Amino acid sequence: MAQPTTSPRQNTLRRPAEPRPRANRDGNPSPARSQSTSFNWGAALDRWLTDQRSTLTLGVLLMGLALGLMVAFMSYLLNGPADQSVVGAAFSEPLNESGSETRNWVGLVGAYVAHVFVFRWFGVGALAIPIIVFLAGYKMTFGSELLPLSRTTTGLLFASVWISLILGYIVLVTDSAETASVWCGGIGYEFNVALYSLFGWGNLAFIAFALFAFVIYFFDVRSIKLPTFSRPSSPKPNRRSSDPLQTYSESEEEPNEEDEQDVDDARETAPESIQPPLANTFANTPVAPPAREQETPLPEVIAQTTGVTLTIKNREAVADTPDSSEELSATPAPTFEPDPFEEDDLVALHGLYDPTIDLPQYQYPVNELLTDYPNSRKAQVSDDELTVNKEKIENTLRNFGIEIDSIQASIGPTVTLYEIIPAKGVRISKIKSLEDDIALSLSALGIRIIAPMPGMGTIGIEVPNKNREMVSMRSVITSDIFSSSKFDLPIVLGKTISNEIYVADLAKMPHLLMAGATGQGKSVGLNVLLTSLIYKKHPSQLKLVLVDPKKVELTLFNKLERHFLAKLPDSEEPIITDTKKVVNTLNSLCIEMDNRYNLLKDAGCRNLKEYNAKFIKRRLNPEKGHHFLPYIVLIIDELADLMMTAGKEVEQPIARLAQLARAIGIHLVVATQRPSVNVITGLIKANFPARLSFKVTSKIDSRTILDTGGAEQLVGMGDMLLSSNSDIIRLQCPFVDTNEIEDICEFVGNQRGYDDAYALPEFVGDEGGQGDDKDVDMTNRDPMFDEAARLIVIHQQGSTSLIQRKLKLGYNRAGRLVDQLEAARIVGPFEGSKARDVLVQDLQTLEEILKRLKGE
């Protein structure tokens, strides 16, 4: 099947790249940059649109326009016939005369616009237009959505046409066009007039069917169940272990009265204060479910009126809801499990949660940022070279008394694989022991013998090509296999011996150990890995923690700070170079890991994917600290340096992360020049099942990294062996130059990003720091202290993340505020994973405490 060369997403996102022209290392303008220097209107408009000031101005303008339209439309509907004649005569009389005659509250212009939208087009359905304009303006002004814009727009546009059609039908059959045609508008009336003579009441069937079809698509209805006498199956919380690592069945279970009662009871006991504030209900953040009676979503209305039960795709059983009674007893603040029906109401109301909502205009890097090396496409191995090598191999083997039945060559980018089938009775180990002799006879370095070839029944002899192929990053990034890859963290590692592009999923690896002597392609390899991820992931889905003790290798990625990088709250530099900071960062990641496990446990999910899927379906309450969790990829460029200076301090958190972090989406890529046993210790090695080796200096190093020899035979420049799942494959790593990396980082970095890098939890090591000081100085309280205290008391939830989110503070400061609240005895002490107790029950008592504190 033919595959597109780029993914649909890349196609749609590909915009003309407007990077500034710049010369590459050879002084020639790089291909992507030799663009026209004339003024680029598209880019200027783009810049204007992405400028926050323009967005704000436009947003307020749209909201004003929406109000004007709404007033004009309402006024037109009420004064209709009078203004119809004024508008009709508007251009045959002086405008000011027409204007003075109009009764529309927005004057002649209002009357005219309303005449078009209301009278000519949609009738009363035209009121949807100002609502859509208002919602768009609101989003531009406040950066958040009152209602999901695209979904609401679709719904309202359909509603306006549909209302016009149904009213048109009524007006037609009641013969009241003279007086009432303003209510149905031209579309509805003309439609019914045109078709009535053909179908009669069939018009009505068509209109009803249009509604039915719309509901099917809009609410993603997949099947219609016939009515049954029992209550439609209500998903029930699945009682199961709280251990996030433990697997469980996702089977749906029939509801049982007792369980439903539990949930209802829990809901009733939940205090008002934990219901979300109104504003939150409309924001894109998921919120606590509204009370059941509040709203009946459209599908349910239809179900009730038609007597059938509609099954909606999103309405899956919540098999993965944690045991509510267990959670209730574990958490001091009253809590409840969201009712899946109501959570689905939220989805019906707001649509699915969109994690990219903060950076909706983010553009993925375009392929043009990568250099095209048209001349390096194919490895140049002549027929002569092939024949000569074949003969040499045959002769060498024959000299040692080994006969072969056949020999076949396949040309790879760096090496050619000669596959031989030995004659019957030849011992494989004998061929293997002739490695050096064959190398000598071929007078080539880097011969590797694979005996036997796994699953092939042959013996492979890899011989380096005289002219090797350079595999460009562009060629692999634009390949079908990569661009259509659905892996969670796709990384393109290069080309195999049979010229296939090899894409792996870092999330499945789940950690990667990389080694290679200096100058063999390790840094290029890391850049390739990072480039793959950046090309495939939105900043909301991926965060990178970059550790670069050599201080020079990863600096280019600095520009990604506000998009992809994560750092400790108090650190200035997003790329970590200092050993002490590395230790703190690793420990901070361990805390992040623990926090994530707590969230997963609370959500009843076994891994990050399930958790995020549940969050997207608005089944997790952000008021309880739930949020969308991006993958975190930790890259350590030189482990040897760290192990020399910090030893166990580094080894232990790395091993802990490697052991436990896979389920919660933290993945490690650790590289080293020196794959010796004191760098790659048994503890580290045991936890990195996937290992990648560039050329190393000795067989011992190769054994340390791959548990077998072979890496010392590689030929450098990105020639590498990947060992994963006990298979070893030889790959040619793609090449990406530093100026390409620079361009990519610039492309991403120049776009609107988050306010800051992703904040990792604070960790203060033995040397202490601000947060270490448990003697909180209450005379020097945080300016937000009172506000934080009120927030905690109103929500009856002693959580740092609540303060962080509501008061928009960093983790560091929110943590200090909680310490101060503890010192003021407003919240109880830290209790591990549980939220702190709130010791003050009402605002009145709190105000007294605050007054007392001020009096001190």
Ligand X SMILES: Nc1ncnc2c1ncn2[C@@H]1O[C@H](COP(=O)(O)OP(=O)(O)OP(=O)(O)O)[C@@H](O)[C@H]1O
CB nearer ligand X, residue 458 or residue 472: 472
Helix H or strand E encompassing 82: helix 52-89
What lies within 8 Å, CB to CB, of 406 at 6+ separation is: 420, 421
The least CB distance from residue 680 to ligand X, in Å, is 15
Q: Is 518 annotated as a binding residue?
A: yes
Question: Is-cis flag, bond preceding 510, omega within 30?
Answer: yes
The single-letter DSSP state of residue 120 is I
The least CB distance from residue 734 to ligand X, in Å, is 6
Q: Is 523 annotated as a binding residue?
A: yes
How deeply is 532 buried, as exposed, middle or buried, from its count of CB atoms within 10 A (0-12, 13-18, 19+)? Answer: buried
- Cβ atoms 728, 547 nearer than 8 A: no
The least CB distance from residue 521 to ligand X, in Å, is 3
Q: Is 625 annotated as a binding residue?
A: no
- Tell me the C-alpha to C-alpha distance, in Å, between residue 156 and each of 125, 324, 579, 680: 8, 38, 57, 61
| Interatomic CA distance for residues 834 and 439, integer angstroms | 64
CB nearer ligand X, residue 347 or residue 731: 731
Q: Is 666 helix (H, G, I), strand (E, B) or coil?
A: strand
| Interatomic CA distance for residues 548 and 648, integer angstroms | 18
CB nearer ligand X, residue 625 or residue 718: 718
Q: Is 577 annotated as a binding residue?
A: no
Q: Is 519 annotated as a binding residue?
A: yes
CB nearer ligand X, residue 468 or residue 662: 468
Q: Which amino acid is at 440?
A: L
| Interatomic CA distance for residues 590 and 560, integer angstroms | 23
Residue of minimal CB distance from ligand X? 718
Binding footprint of ligand X on the chain (CB under 6 A): 470, 516, 518-524, 673, 717-718, 733-735
| Interatomic CA distance for residues 574 and 563, integer angstroms | 11
The least CB distance from residue 687 to ligand X, in Å, is 23
Q: Which long-range contacts (CB under 8 A, 24 or more apart) does 363-366 make?
A: 363/13, 363/15, 363/747, 363/751, 364/9, 364/10, 364/13, 364/535, 364/536, 364/538, 365/534, 365/535, 365/744, 365/747, 365/748, 366/10, 366/13, 366/14, 366/15, 366/17, 366/747
How deeply is 847 buried, as exposed, middle or buried, from its count of CB atoms within 10 A (0-12, 13-18, 19+)? Answer: middle
| Interatomic CA distance for residues 690 and 725, integer angstroms | 7
The least CB distance from residue 248 to ligand X, in Å, is 43
- Nearest residue to 64 via CA among 162, 145, 138: 138
Q: Is 89 annotated as a binding residue?
A: no
The least CB distance from residue 633 to ligand X, in Å, is 18
The least CB distance from residue 746 to ligand X, in Å, is 21
| Interatomic CA distance for residues 296 and 303, integer angstroms | 11
The least CB distance from residue 298 to ligand X, in Å, is 56
| Interatomic CA distance for residues 270 and 576, integer angstroms | 44
CB nearer ligand X, residue 562 or residue 674: 674
The least CB distance from residue 525 to ligand X, in Å, is 7
CB nearer ligand X, residue 8 or residue 519: 519
Q: Is 517 annotated as a binding residue?
A: yes
**Binding residue numbers for ATP:** 516-523
Instruction: List binding-site positions.
Output: 516-523
